[in-house]
Amino acid sequence: MTGKVLNYFVCGHTARGFFNISESALPNLQHLFVINSQWGAEGSNLIEGIGRELVETGHNVEFIHSPFDSKRLDGVIVPSLGIGVVKEIIAEGARSLNCRRAIINIQPENHKDENITALIQEKCNQAYDSFSTALEIHDEWEEFYIHNMDFAKADTLTDELIHSFLGEEVLNKQSVVKHRFLGAATPHGSVDFVPVLTEEIQNRYFIKGRPGSGKSTLLKKLAKQAEHKGFDVEVYHCGFDPNSLDMVILRELGIAIFDSTAPHEYFPVRENDRIIDMYGSVITDGTDEKFAVQLADVAGRYKTKIQEATAFLKEARMIQERAEKESLSLHRDVLEKIKQEVIQEINRIS
């Protein structure tokens, strides 16, 4: 029987700089294989090859994608075995995990160039500055709705929703909480895996609203209460502002609830899909119309800064691609040999 695959990010280019939440995303690992591969596709290809072979033998796996190139992988996790195969960037973010580690060195000697690394970092820093300015503009955007919100209604809506999800049940176990990113800002724009992550979820709730209409606050309260009651919780942070939440999944209850607004806007397509309209429920009628001119201005300035940041990330990726073309690459047979050695070791310890 073929296994299943989940896809997500644990690192991101954000308004608060490069953010790595690998440690809180990967609890309960006993073994970590760390691939020493800074740039080229070899590390990603090796990880994907290992993951696909494990899927074919019936294991469920989780693919961790790179925010530098969402088609590339930074890691594969096999939860049932407590095993992960990850690049150094993931291992560094999860350095406090108490697990056995084995280093797999596939980086050619001429692969690492400190000057190239500095150039890439400079472009990324420029992107972070633009994202930071965009966040300030977004805060300005939120103010229009915060000042026109009925907080009592928002609290009532949140409490009723949480009670409808969790009821009075309390599980006699410790909650497992995993923190991930809903999506990531990449050199090609925003990317997310909402359809994959919610594919097997029976009840999906699409939160619609405006900036500052209480979407993240609702999700934070739900996640906290679910953890308190012993339910396992998948907490998905915003790829733009990691202090904000975009989705909570309670797989034991078959529930996913997420901020379904741009840049991760989706609409109901299944019978059990539901919309939660925060704007219509808690924001004063006519707010959009009353501040139409100001809102158009702030939205335009925000969009410009996001585009500016994305352009810087694209420049960083182009520098990286040029460096990769000039570096030595491992022969396919060598990678296949390494892959089989890792698979054999996984089979031995599992």
Euclidean distance between CA atoms 303 and 305, whole angstroms: 6
Max Cα separation, the chain?
66
Q: Do 60 and 4 touch, CB atoms closer than 8 A?
A: yes
Token digits of residue 80: 């049932």
- Enumerate long-range contacts of 290-294, CB under 8 Å, 24 or more apart: 291/144, 294/144
- pLDDT value for 96: 83
321-350 pLDDT tens trace = 988 887 766 778 888 999 999 999 999 987
Q: What is the pTM of this model?
A: 0.95
Nearest 5°: phi and psi at 245? Answer: -105, 145
Q: Write out the chain's pLDDT in tens, 350 residues.
A: 899 999 999 999 999 999 999 988 887 889 999 998 765 688 999 999 999 999 999 999 999 999 999 999 999 999 999 999 999 999 999 888 888 999 988 865 545 567 888 999 999 999 999 999 999 999 999 999 999 999 999 999 999 999 999 999 999 999 999 999 999 999 999 999 999 999 999 999 999 999 999 999 999 999 999 999 999 999 999 999 999 999 999 999 999 999 999 999 999 999 999 999 999 999 999 999 999 999 999 999 999 999 999 999 999 999 999 888 877 667 788 889 999 999 999 999 87
Euclidean distance between CA atoms 13 and 184, whole angstroms: 7
Euclidean distance between CA atoms 119 and 39, whole angstroms: 14
